Amino acid sequence: ALVNRLLMTGAAGGIGKQIREGLRDFATHLRLSDIADLGVAGPGEELVDCDITDAEALRALVKGCDAILHFGGISTEDRADLIHRINIEGSYHLYEAARKEGARRILFASSNHVTGFHPRETRLTASSPIRPDSNYGVSKAYGEALARLYWDKYGVETLIVRIGSCFPEPKDRRMMATWMSAGDMLRLIERMLAAPRLGCPIVYGVSDNDESWWDNSEAAYLGWRPKDSSRQFAGMFDHLPPENPTDPAVVWQGGGFAKAGHFDD
Ligand code: NAI
Ligand code: 15L
C-alpha cells in the first residue's frame, strides 16, 4: 500500500462509486465518508457518516489519516448560500482539520468550471487566468486558493484536480472533450500518493480525448498520463441535431454552467 490510512469525503457520490474498489489497492485502511448512504463496508473499509459543515466532526474524521481525497460537497450549480456553506466553509473546515491533525497530502476535487468562461478554442494551462462560470465555479476557485495557502504557509500539499466530466460515459457532445475515465482518475491518485514531492500542482482531470482544451504540461513531473479516451464512444451523439455555434453552452468551455442564470431569484 502507498499509505496507511486514506480518507475520501463524498465517497457515496458518482465518482466515489466508480473508484471505491480501486482505492483499496492504495491504502491499508480506507476511511469512506459522506452524509449519504455508503452501503456495507468492504474489506479494509471504514464507513463514517460526517457532514463537512461540522468542523468538530470533520476534525475527528481526519484524525489518523495520512492523505485525504476531498470530493464531498455540492457538485453542480446551486443557490449561492448553499454553495457558500457547504463548498466554501466545508473546504475551510477540511483544511483546518488537516493542518491541525497533521494530514500532509490532499486531493482537492476542483472543477473545469473554475475556468468555464474561456471559449472552447482557447487551450488552457495551469497558469491561465481563472474565469469561473457559476457560484459553483467560484467555490472551487476558493478551494484552489485555500489549497495554495495551506501549501505556502503550512506545508500541506494538494493535488488540485480540475475535473472535466468523470462519468462512466459522456452524456453529451461537450463531454467528448471533457470526459475522464475512472481508470485515469485512479492512476492520477496513484501518482499523487506515490510522488516523493507533490507541492500544489493544478491538473485538468481529463482523459486522452481527441478534442482537447487543456494542457497539463506544467504538471509533467507527476508522470501522469491518461490512458483512456472518449474515442471509444465515437458517433454516440450523431443522431442529435448539429450544435448551434452561437449557443452560450457551445461557445464556453463550461457549457450549461456558463449558460445558466441565477439560482437565487
Ligand atoms: P456527487 O454529487 O455525486 O457526490 C458528492 C457527494 O458529496 C455526495 O455523495 C453528497 O452526499 C456529498 N455531500 C454533499 N454535501 C455534503 C456535506 N455537507 N457533507 C458531506 N458530504 C456531502 O458528485 P461527483 O460527481 O461524485 O463529484 C465529486 C466531487 O468532484 C465534487 O466535489 C464535484 O464538485 C467534483 N467534480 C466532479 C465532476 C464530475 O465529472 N463528476 C467534475 C468536476 C468536479
Ligand atoms: C462538474 O463540475 C460537475 O460536478 C459535473 O456534474 C459535470 O457537470 C462536470 O462538471 C462537467 O463539466 O461536465
Backbone angles phi, psi at 145, to 5 degrees: -65, -40
Residue from 7, 9, 15 to probe ligand 1 pocket by mutation (most atoms less than 8 Å from CB): 15
Supply the Cα-derived Rg of the chain in whole angstroms: 18
Backbone angles phi, psi at 164, to 5 degrees: -80, -100
- Could you tell me the distance, in angstroms and rounded to a whole number, from the CA of residue 89 to the centre of ligand 1? 15
**pLDDT score recorded for residue 154:** 98
pLDDT reading at 116 higher than 90: yes
Convert the pLDDT of each residue in 152-175 to its tens digit: 999 999 999 999 999 999 999 999
Residue from 165, 180, 207, 253 to probe ligand 2 pocket by mutation (most atoms less than 8 Å from CB): 165
What does the domain layout of the chain look like in residue ranges?
A: 3-259
Determine the Cα–Cα distance for residues 66 and 232; give it in Å rounded to an integer.
36
Residue nearest to atom 25 of ligand 1 (CA): 14
Q: Would you call 136 a catalytic residue per the annotation?
A: yes
Determine the Cα–Cα distance for residues 29 and 88; give it in Å rounded to an integer.
28
CA 149, 58, 103 angle in degrees (round to 5)? 50
Domain topology for 3-259: Rossmann fold (3.40.50)
Catalytic annotation, pick one of 92, 95, 136, 150: 136
Convert the pLDDT of each residue in 206-246 to its tens digit: 999 999 999 999 999 999 999 999 999 999 999 999 999 99
Determine the Cα–Cα distance for residues 233 and 165; give it in Å rounded to an integer.
14
Mean pLDDT of the chain: 97
Residue nearest to atom 4 of ligand 2 (CA): 75
Determine the Cα–Cα distance for residues 189 and 258; give it in Å rounded to an integer.
28
Determine the Cα–Cα distance for residues 132 and 118; give it in Å rounded to an integer.
9
263 pLDDT band, cuts 50/70/90, is: confident
Lowest mean pLDDT among 35-44, 142-151, 162-171, 254-263: 254-263
Residue 169: count other Cβ atoms within 10 Å of its Cβ.
12
- Could you tell me the distance, in angstroms and rounded to a whole number, from the CA of residue 67 to the centre of ligand 1? 18
pTM recorded for the entire structure: 0.98
- Could you tell me the distance, in angstroms and rounded to a whole number, from the CA of residue 102 to the centre of ligand 1? 24
Specify whether the CB–CB gap between 33 and 23 falls below 8 A: no
Closest ligand to C-alpha of residue 139 is 1
Residue nearest to atom 13 of ligand 2 (CA): 165
Residue nearest to atom 6 of ligand 1 (CA): 10
**pLDDT score recorded for residue 195:** 97
- Judged by DSSP in three states, 71 sits in coil
Q: Which three cell numbers stand for residue 53?
A: 459543515
- Could you tell me the distance, in angstroms and rounded to a whole number, from the CA of residue 196 to the centre of ligand 2? 30
**Span 1-7, average pLDDT:** 97
4 pLDDT band, cuts 50/70/90, is: very high
Determine the Cα–Cα distance for residues 67 and 98; give it in Å rounded to an integer.
9
pLDDT reading at 252 higher than 90: yes
Convert the pLDDT of each residue in 45-87 to its tens digit: 999 999 999 999 999 999 999 999 999 999 999 999 999 999 9
Cα 177 to Cα 149, 207, 229, distances in angstroms: 31, 9, 9
**Residues of the chain above pLDDT 70, percent:** 99
Taking CB atoms and a 6 Å cutoff, what residues make up the pocket around ligand 1? Answer: 10, 12-16, 34-36, 51-53, 71-73, 75, 86, 90, 109, 111, 163, 165-167
ipTM over 0.85: yes
Residue nearest to atom 11 of ligand 2 (CA): 165
Closest by Cα among 151, 154, 140 to 88: 140
pLDDT reading at 265 higher than 80: no
pLDDT reading at 20 higher than 90: yes
Ligand 2 pocket, residue 5 CB under 6 Å: no
